[in-house]
Chain A
Amino acid sequence: AQSVTQPDARVTVSEGASLQLRCKYSYSATPYLFWYVQYPRQGLQLLLKYYSGDPVVQGVNSFEAEFSKSNSSFHLQKASVHWSDSAVYFCALSPTNSAGNKLTFGIGTRVLVRP
Chain B
Amino acid sequence: EAAVTQSPRSKVAVTGGKVTLSCHQTNNHDYMYWYRQDTGHGLRLIHYSYVADSTEKGDIPDGYKASRPSQENFSLILELASLSQTAVYFCASSGDRGGQNTLYFGAGTRLSVL
Which residues of A does B touch, CB under 8 Å? 4, 6, 31-32, 34, 36, 41-46, 49, 51, 90, 94-96, 98-108
Residues of A within 8 A of B94 (CB): 100-101
Interface residues of B in 1-56 (CB under 8 A from A): 4, 31, 33, 35, 40-45, 48, 50
Residues of B within 8 A of A34 (CB): 102
Q: Is the CB of B103 within 8 A of A90?
A: no
The one of B50, B99, B106, B108 in contact with A95, judged by C-beta atoms closer than 8 angstroms, is B99
Given contacts A49-B100, A100-B94, A100-B98, contact A43 B106 (CB under 8 A): yes
Q: Is the CB of A90 within 8 A of B43?
A: yes
CB distance from B36 to the nearest CB of A (A): 11
With A43-B90, A101-B99 known, 18 other A-B pairs at CB within 8 A are: A31-B99, A43-B105, A43-B108, A44-B103, A51-B100, A98-B99, A99-B98, A100-B98, A101-B31, A101-B101, A101-B102, A102-B33, A102-B48, A103-B43, A103-B45, A103-B103, A104-B45, A105-B42
Instruction: Return 17 A-B CB contacts under 8 Å, by A number.
Output: A4-B42, A32-B99, A42-B108, A43-B106, A44-B90, A46-B103, A51-B99, A90-B43, A95-B99, A99-B50, A100-B31, A100-B96, A101-B98, A101-B103, A102-B33, A105-B42, A108-B42
The one of B35, B41, B92, B98 in contact with A98, judged by C-beta atoms closer than 8 angstroms, is B98
Which residues of B does A touch, CB under 8 Å? 4, 31, 33, 35, 40-45, 48, 50, 58, 90, 92, 94, 96, 98-103, 105-108
A34 to B102, CA, bound (A): 9
A96 to B100, CA, bound (A): 8
